[in-house]
Amino acid sequence: MTKKTIIRFLGMALMLQVFLACSPDDYTYHDNSVMSIEDIDHIELIANQRMLLADGRAQLELYPRLFTKDNYLIPDERIQNDWLEYTSESGIALQRYFSTSDASLIGKTITAKLKIKGTQLESNSVSFQVVEPLNRQYTSEIRIPVVFHIIQTTEDIESFGGAYKQEQIEQVLRKLNYMFSGETTQNPVGVDTHIRLVLAGYDPDGSRMMEPGINRFTTKEIDATNNYEDFLAEHHLIWPAGQYMNIWLISDRGNVSGTFSKVSNRCMPQYVPADAQGMPEGIEWKEYQDEPLLAKDLGVLYKLQELDKIDRNFKVSEYEPGYNEIGYYIGRYLGLLSTCNYMNDEIGTDYCDDTLNYIRDESKPGRNETWYKESEGCYFRAENIMDDPTGGHCSISRDQCMRMRWVLNNCVGRSAWKSDFAFEGK
């Protein structure tokens, strides 16, 4: 036996001895998914809203934050619910998710605390106000006839998968109406606006549309000059605002428009009759004196390619917000303002008392650039129609609903819902 063989043999024997010495019975296993009450050093409590609608459906979350002695935040999935005890100063029974339809609580402030059972650990106090549901005067049905003008180039159709499909438009409409109804969320202040977008059945000539609510226009080139205003007017793509809500879906694969969000942002209402009263704050209203109305006054211009985008950026540059979902711009069309102040270190206002406003903040989780935000003493999932591009855009608050209905009732270029022409052709 050579020296090299002997060394190899001894090495294998040593490895075998080590392996046998470390049998499974000698290991100590730690389940990192489980923590005990003894691991908790201090606790905090934060709510996801300052208000809660007393409609029995809206739901406020009292979010627990548990820390170890090293100030390590214990992940939510490692917290056992039977550790937690929610209390209120008024004796109202609370739990992490709280709803109520008790009208006697309307106008009252509930102050909550969190305790860890079997210990002296107690959180800070958190207060929220119970508010009345949407008043009946704002629950009448409003059906807005909508036409989607799908504007594509021949190259776009021939080289990039064909014409944009009717089923895709129907899916977009379905999502928008979920937003108006609030049926996919239990947001603490979210309401059913009773506003719905309905596909038009007839064109301005009174002819039945082959594809309900869809007007297709294909051309060799699309001219973005003057924010597409000249192009839309030249090709008769602006349908009467007294009969239709116009949504122009414009293909712009080459980013000819520069930043399309600037085009989409122009759709705010501004003209009102001389006798208008109670104008919502935050908009420079003008008395209408028969000025010619532009596309921006009569609908929403949106980049077609953005409809199917899933992952969105909070900002695209230091001075430019990310391009938002179409629901956000429809909110602007109906007079709503952004809840996020992108360009300032101070939290702004959208003039709705029941929404949460916020900014990009280095001190907050994810800098407030993710789905979850922390602002105004609340930690919440961004669901509001007017939140930044990373939000879910599936909820409209009570105050926002009232603001939108004022615009629909009073603003020039927002009266299509008062006409049945698009549904009956006469």
Q: CA angle, 97 as apex, 93 and 100 as ends, to 5°?
A: 60
Note the pLDDT tens digit of each residue in 165-218: 999 999 999 999 999 999 999 999 999 999 999 999 999 999 999 999 999 999
φ/ψ region of 21 (left if φ > 0, alpha if ψ in -120 to 50, else beta) reads alpha
| Domain membership flag for residue 413 | yes
| Domain membership flag for residue 159 | yes
Going by C-alpha positions, the residue among 205, 360, 345, 233 that lies closest to residue 298 is 233
- How far apart CA 104 and CA 118 sit, in angstroms, is 33
- How far apart CA 169 and CA 327 sit, in angstroms, is 13
Q: For residue 130, what are the β-bridge partners? A: 52
Contacts for 79 with CB less than 8 Å, ≥ 6 apart: 35, 64, 66
Mean predicted confidence (pLDDT) in 301-311: 93
Q: Residues, the chain, total?
A: 426
Query: How many domains does the chain divide into?
Result: 2
Give yes or no: residues 206 and 230 share one domain.
Answer: yes
- How far apart CA 158 and CA 163 sit, in angstroms, is 8
The pLDDT of residue 28: 42
Which among 103, 131, 159 is the end of a domain?
131
CATH of the domain at 79: 2.60.40.2120
Give yes or no: residues 107 and 177 share one domain.
Answer: no
The pLDDT of residue 137: 93
- How far apart CA 332 and CA 312 sit, in angstroms, is 19
CATH of the domain at 409: 3.40.390.10
Is residue 168 within 8 Å of 307, Cβ to Cβ? yes
Give yes or no: residues 337 and 191 share one domain.
Answer: yes
Q: For residue 301, what are the β-bridge partners? A: 248
Which among 82, 101, 131 is the end of a domain?
131
Going by C-alpha positions, the residue among 345, 331, 305, 335 that lies closest to residue 388 is 331
Mean predicted confidence (pLDDT) in 397-421: 98
| Domain membership flag for residue 107 | yes
C-alpha torsion 423→236→230→416, nearest 10: -20
Which tokens sit at 252? Answer: 């712009």
- How far apart CA 178 and CA 140 sit, in angstroms, is 17
| Domain membership flag for residue 77 | yes
The average confidence (pLDDT) of the chain is 92
Going by C-alpha positions, the residue among 247, 178, 177 that lies closest to residue 214 is 247
Question: Sign of the CA dihedral 325, 202, 227, 418?
Answer: negative
- The answer to whether residue 352 scores a pLDDT higher than 70 is yes
Give yes or no: residues 97 and 173 share one domain.
Answer: no
Which tokens sit at 133? Answer: 């549901």
Give yes or no: residues 156 and 237 share one domain.
Answer: yes
| Domain membership flag for residue 18 | no
Give yes or no: residues 125 and 145 share one domain.
Answer: no
Give yes or no: residues 352 and 254 share one domain.
Answer: yes
Is residue 116 within 8 Å of 37, Cβ to Cβ? yes
Give yes or no: residues 195 and 84 share one domain.
Answer: no
Structural domain harbouring 253: 138-424
Going by C-alpha positions, the residue among 87, 89, 90, 40 that lies closest to residue 65 is 40
| Domain membership flag for residue 70 | yes
- The answer to whether residue 283 scores a pLDDT higher than 70 is yes
H helices, E strands: number in the chain: 9, 18
- The answer to whether residue 290 scores a pLDDT higher than 80 is yes
Give yes or no: residues 60 and 200 share one domain.
Answer: no
Is residue 193 within 8 Å of 404, Cβ to Cβ? yes
| Domain membership flag for residue 10 | no
The label of the residue with tokens 């339809």 reads: 101
- The answer to whether residue 69 scores a pLDDT higher than 80 is yes
- How far apart CA 157 and CA 252 sit, in angstroms, is 12
Which pLDDT band, with edges at 50, 70 and 90, does 12 fall under? low
| Domain membership flag for residue 4 | no
The label of the residue with tokens 């909550």 reads: 112
For residue 236, count other CB atoms closer than 10 A to its CB.
Answer: 9
Which among 99, 131, 163 is the end of a domain?
131
Going by C-alpha positions, the residue among 237, 214, 306, 301 that lies closest to residue 266 is 301
Find the range with the poorest average confidence among 28-32, 171-175, 285-289, 328-332.
28-32
- How far apart CA 193 and CA 407 sit, in angstroms, is 13
Q: For residue 111, what are the β-bridge partners? A: 127
Q: How far is CA 201 from the centre of its chain?
A: 29
The pLDDT of residue 316: 82
Give yes or no: residues 142 and 111 share one domain.
Answer: no
More confident residue, 308 or 212: 212
Give yes or no: residues 290 and 151 share one domain.
Answer: yes
Note the pLDDT tens digit of each residue in 364-395: 989 999 999 999 999 999 999 999 999 999 99
Give yes or no: residues 52 and 170 share one domain.
Answer: no
HSE (CB half, 13 Å, CA atoms) of 337?
Answer: 18
